[in-house]
Amino acid sequence: MVNKRFLFVGVMMLFGPMFFFHGNPTKAQADLADQIAKADVEYGEYLSGECITCHQSTGASVGIPSINGIDAEIFVSIINAYRSKELENKVMQMMAGRLDDEQIISLAAYFSSLPD
Ligand code: HEC
Ligand 1, residues at Cβ distance < 6 Å: 50-51, 53-55, 64-65, 67, 70, 75, 78-79, 87, 89, 91-92, 95, 107
Structural domains of the chain, ranges and CATH numbers in brackets: 68-116 (1.10.760.10)
- Which SS3 state, helix, strand or coil, does residue 64 take? strand
Q: In terms of pLDDT, which residue wins out, 37 or 20?
A: 37
User: Mean pLDDT for the chain?
Assistant: 86
Supply the pTM of this predicted model. Answer: 0.82
pLDDT band at 18 (very low <50, low <70, confident <90, very high): low
Tell me the angle at which helices 4-37 and 72-83 cross, rounded to the nearest 10 degrees. Answer: 100
If pLDDT is split at 50, 70 and 90, which confidence band does 14 have?
A: low
- Would you mind telling me the total number of residues written for the chain in this entry? 116
Q: First vs last Cα of the chain: how many Å apart? A: 67
